[in-house]
Structures are given as C-alpha cells and as structure tokens.
Amino acid sequence: MCQKPRENTDEANFILYRGQHNFIILNAFPYNPGHLMVAPYRHIANLQDLRDAEAEEHFDIIKKGLELLREVMEPMGFNIGLNLGKVAGAGIAEHLHTHIVPRWQGDTNFMPVLSDTKVLSEALVSTYRRLRAKL
C-alpha cells in the first residue's frame, strides 16, 4: 500500500486525498461502495508506532472521510475500524490502515454466503470520480 502514493498516479491507484503524513485510498476490494482506507505514508504495522503528528492527522483525515461520504453517498451509518495483524483479518497486515465503510439499511445480501461473490452497485472508478469531484 505504501508504494501507491510514490507512483504519483492517484486516479489509477484510487488515492482520493493526500495529507502531510496520511492519505485516503479507496479499498480495491470494497465491502460497500465508498469503502475508504486511511493510511500513513510510512510503512508501519503497529498503531503504537505512529508518531504524534501522524496519529493526530490520521484521526483528522478519518473525520474528513466521514464528511465526504456523508455529502456524496448519504449513508445511514458507518463501520470504522482497524484490523491489526493477519489473524485479526488484516489484508495488508504490514501496513497500518483504518477502514471507513459506509452502510445502508439492507446493504447485506446472500451472494457472499452462497457463491463467494460480492455485488457492488457502483464501479470503483465511478465511486472515485464522485468522491474526488467533491474534494
């Protein structure tokens, strides 16, 4: 994940926002449309390894992500969280990131259970363009 900002191809990598220490990127394998991740530029795995400035900005950018999703996607709620370590479900265990998942009433369905298939109502590139336009 930490190599994506260095590539300077934000739209291709779905990087929505860059702060001084952290950035917002769309999850390439989203739970729901608008599933964001906030990550530090530094390659760290442990929350306690965030420097004070990184941690403060990380939280501020989470708030910015919530505001953006509320305005553009109008979700009814959110799941926000960290999966620390592979056994905790971290898909990218070596790079700390916070998930922001917009939620709507009835947004779960039977497809993942029956056929290991996830149905999304919007293409990732469309979600990126709508959110980026608002920023």
Could you list the active site residues?
Answer: 97
How far are the Cα atoms of 10, 45, 80, 89, 132 from residue 94, in angstroms, in the given order?
Answer: 22, 5, 19, 12, 27
Note the Cα 107 to chain centre separation in Å: 18
State the Cα angle at 91 between 85 and 96, rounded to 5°: 55
Q: Is 118 helix (H, G, I), strand (E, B) or coil?
A: coil
How far are the Cα atoms of 107, 109, 122 from residue 113, in angstroms, in the given order?
Answer: 14, 8, 20
Please identify which residue in the block is written with the tokens 């779905």.
Answer: 14
